[in-house]
């Protein structure tokens, strides 16, 4: 986990770049491409200060529902304050591998720029916990940087999902607006 509260430089970067730019101009295109109808129960793993959660909450109708799971008390509180106009979000603070979250509850799980920050040896436990939360035929969407040193390769994402019992629907890598490589994947639970 990042330090909590995070370093001042990270707070400023998140406010100026992630929340004002990425969340407004880049996250909406990604979420549109997921094909959500708006009525889903969605879990966002590692929701941070709510940059992606804001876009997801806009996409979900009053029938849809978002659970934000975040280990950092600072960031979950930040998201709660920023997103207080939404009534269809719940905020769950803790480590996903140690929390009791309803099994088979969610139609979709979103992992957006989180798993590469988790210790490599702990990643399989995280993905297995997320797979349990999905309902049968529910979908896990993942997007991670592929940069060596600060990212993870697509081959590792595919192996982790397979080992957690999720079947691959689509994977690929694209270049971001910052001209770095990003891996994306869609996986389904069959059990
Ligand atoms: C780079 S931020 C991404 C935020 C958000 N997904 C987005 O794209 O706007 C990654 C977040 O994942 C959280 N995180 C890392 N490991 C976690 C764990 N095991 N359980 C819950 N949250 C975790 C970190 O605290 C951090 O806030």
Judge contact between 44 and 64, C-beta under 8 A: no
pLDDT value at 2 more than 70: no
Judge contact between 73 and 93, C-beta under 8 A: yes
Q: Round the average pLDDT of the chain to a whole number and report it.
A: 94
Question: Tell me, what's the pLDDT at 14?
Answer: 93
Contacts with 100 (C-beta within 8 Å, 6 or more apart), sequence order? none
Question: Tell me, what's the pLDDT at 65?
Answer: 96
| Ligand 1 atom closest to Cα of residue 126 | 19
Banded pLDDT at 1 (limits 50, 70, 90): low
| Ligand 1 atom closest to Cα of residue 118 | 16
pLDDT tens sequence across 63-99: 999 999 999 999 999 999 999 999 999 999 999 999 9
β-partners of residue 119 are none
CA distance 30 to 55: 10
Q: How do strand 106-112 and strand 65-70 relate by DSSP bridges?
A: unpaired
Query: Which residue's C-alpha comes closest to atom 4 of ligand 1?
Result: 48
Residues lining ligand 1, CB < 6 A? 1-2, 18, 46-48, 51-52, 69-72, 75, 95-96, 112-114, 117-118, 126
Structural domains in the chain plus CATH codes: 8-189 (3.40.50.150)
The percentage of the chain sitting over the pLDDT mark of 70, rounded to a whole number, equals: 99
CA distance 89 to 83: 8
Rounded to the nearest whole angstrom, what is the distance from the C-alpha of residue 117 to the centroid of ligand 1?
8
pLDDT tens sequence across 95-127: 999 998 888 999 999 999 999 999 999 999 999
Query: Which residue's C-alpha comes closest to atom 8 of ligand 1?
Result: 112
């Amino acid at each position: 986990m990042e330090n909590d509260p995070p370093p001042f430089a990270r707070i400023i970067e998140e406010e100026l770049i992630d929340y004002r730019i990425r969340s407004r101009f880049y996250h909406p295109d990604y979420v549109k491409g997921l094909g959500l109808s708006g009525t889903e129960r969605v879990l966002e793993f590692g929701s941070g200060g709510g940059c992606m959660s804001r876009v997801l909450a806009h996409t979900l109708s009053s029938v849809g529902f978002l659970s934000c799971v975040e280990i950092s008390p600072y960031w979950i509180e930040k998201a709660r304050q920023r997103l207080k106009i939404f009534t269809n979000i719940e905020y769950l603070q803790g480590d996903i591998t140690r929390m009791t979250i309803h099994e088979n509850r969610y139609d979709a799980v979103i992992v957006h720029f989180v798993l590469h920050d988790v210790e490599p040896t702990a990643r399989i436990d995280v993905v297995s916990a997320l797979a349990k939360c999905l309902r049968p035929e529910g979908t896990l969407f993942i997007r991670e940087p592929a940069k060596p040193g600060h990212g993870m390769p697509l081959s590792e994402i595919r192996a982790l999902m397979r080992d957690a019992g999720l079947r691959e629907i689509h994977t690929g890598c694209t270049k971001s607006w910052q001209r770095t490589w990003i891996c994306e994947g869609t996986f389904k639970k069959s059990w």
